[in-house]
């Protein structure tokens, strides 16, 4: 398992998804897309996302784990679901701007 470092880039092996790490929990992390471990940029795409792990990613959106210790920014959309191990990441909700009077 690779160590996730903020600023590092990762590419899916089963779809066109590409991400940049914004925040990392530290240490080795089992980063996956479509149920398959992600690799360095230039990773060849082969196969397809696993059943139930093809919800897709959206360009420019941030994805986080339940504790928000890991955060990824999608730089290229794809068909696979991002996850750490078998746990899918959730789309990070944007914070509302303060009202201006």
Whole-prediction pTM: 0.89
Task: Single out the residue of 22, 21, 30, 25 nearest to residue 1, CA to CA.
Answer: 30
Q: Residue 4 — pLDDT band, cuts 50, 70, 90?
A: confident
Q: Flag whether pLDDT at 94 surpasses 90.
A: no
Structure tokens, 70: 């890991």
- Provide, rounded to the nearest whole percent, the portion of the chain with pLDDT above 90: 71
- pLDDT in the model for residue 1: 65
Q: What is the average pLDDT across 22-41?
A: 92
Residue 75 near residue 82 (C-beta atoms within 8 A) = no
Beta bridge partners of 74: 19
Q: What is the mean pLDDT of residues 58-86?
A: 95
Helix, strand, coil: what percent of the chain each, to 5?
0, 35, 65
pLDDT in tens, 66-78: 999 999 999 999 9
């Amino acid at each position: 398992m690779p160590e996730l470092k903020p600023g590092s880039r990762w590419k899916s092996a089963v779809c066109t998804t590409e991400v940049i790490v914004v925040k990392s929990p530290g240490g080795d992390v089992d980063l996956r897309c479509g149920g398959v471990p992600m690799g360095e940029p230039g990773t060849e795409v082969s196969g397809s996302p696993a059943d139930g792990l093809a919800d897709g990613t959206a360009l420019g959106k941030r994805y986080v784990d339940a504790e928000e210790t890991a955060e990824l920014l999608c730089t290229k959309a794809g068909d696979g679901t991002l996850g750490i191990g078998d746990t899918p990441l959730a789309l990070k909700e944007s914070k509302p701007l303060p009202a201006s009077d």
